[in-house]
Amino acid sequence: MAKISAAQVKELRDKTGVGMMDAKKALVETEGDMEKAVDVLREKGVAKAEKKSGRVAAEGIAAVAIKDNKAAIVEINCETDSVASTDKFKNLVTEVADKIAEEEPASVDDALALKTANGTVKDDVIETTQVTGEKISLRRFQVVEKGADQSFGSYIHNGGQIAALVVLDGADSATAKDVAMHVAAINPEYVNREQVPADRLAHEKDVLVKEALNEDKPEKIVEKMVEGRLNKWLSEISLDDQEFVKDSDQTVAHFVESKGGKVSSFIRFEVGEGIEKKADNFIDEVMNQIKD
């Protein structure tokens, strides 16, 4: 049996993008013949993985990993919820989230290049694609660092369909977790109304003015009406002003203040948000509407 060198394994990995063990097995099987090894890998799944690269992966898991003063929120996608529920996929998500929290890569490409026990994160993603038969992709992540006087809190809803990560000034992790649960459930857009962009605020005010005038309200009371409606709108999109999901008698800001803290920031990932549906699914939906 031909002896397989590390250099040969690396060359095959560079050519095909597969994991280290898959490359070595293919070289052993072909007694070191590089071209035959490429063919073997294509026959065993690499070609299938490449073919699936154009498919839309809109299912998956969002997760949070906290490592000391750093935390990462991550979304990894697959094509079906059945694959998302497998241990293989769940383990991949956990390992990648942990790795990103530890090493804080700057981009998705940098994250895919992080070293793992089997090679790189990219190798692990390719291997999971081969095992599951579905396109797997690291879609996005954010890394957050907190200060010594701040608290992290995270909440995962419905097995990872929604993940929320919150940073509080002061308070504690239990309070931060409660706020993260609120963020997951209510989906605020900003921490407070001061963060709302001026152009968006002006646009909303303009719309409300026109709406009030179209209701034939006297101009002298339009200003007060608009002010009231604008405040209501701001309270709906601003986390601090929202009624706390666990106690509607107080706002989120009041709840956190009662625990000695203040909301600093939050991030919320919902799996598949913003991903366009496949064209064939869209056509099917239109045809069903026509039939109805």
Q: What is the mean pLDDT of the chain?
A: 87
At residue 36 the predicted structure's pLDDT band, cuts being 50, 70 and 90, is: confident
Q: What pLDDT is attached to residue 39?
A: 76
**287: Cα within 13 Å, side-chain hemisphere:** 6
Pairing of strands 70-78, 137-145: antiparallel
235 compared with 22, residue with greater pLDDT: 235
* pLDDT tens for each residue of 105-143: 999 999 999 999 989 999 999 999 988 888 899 999 999
- Residue 289: other Cβ atoms inside 10 A: 8
Cα 136 from Cα 55, distance rounded (Å): 10
* pLDDT tens for each residue of 190-208: 999 999 999 999 999 988 8
Cα 46 from Cα 33, distance rounded (Å): 17
Cα 170 from Cα 41, distance rounded (Å): 53
Alpha-carbon dihedral sign for residues 214, 220, 221, 226:
positive
223 compared with 179, residue with greater pLDDT: 179
Predicted structure pTM score: 0.74
Does residue 65 surpass a pLDDT of 50?
Answer: yes
Cα 257 from Cα 273, distance rounded (Å): 32
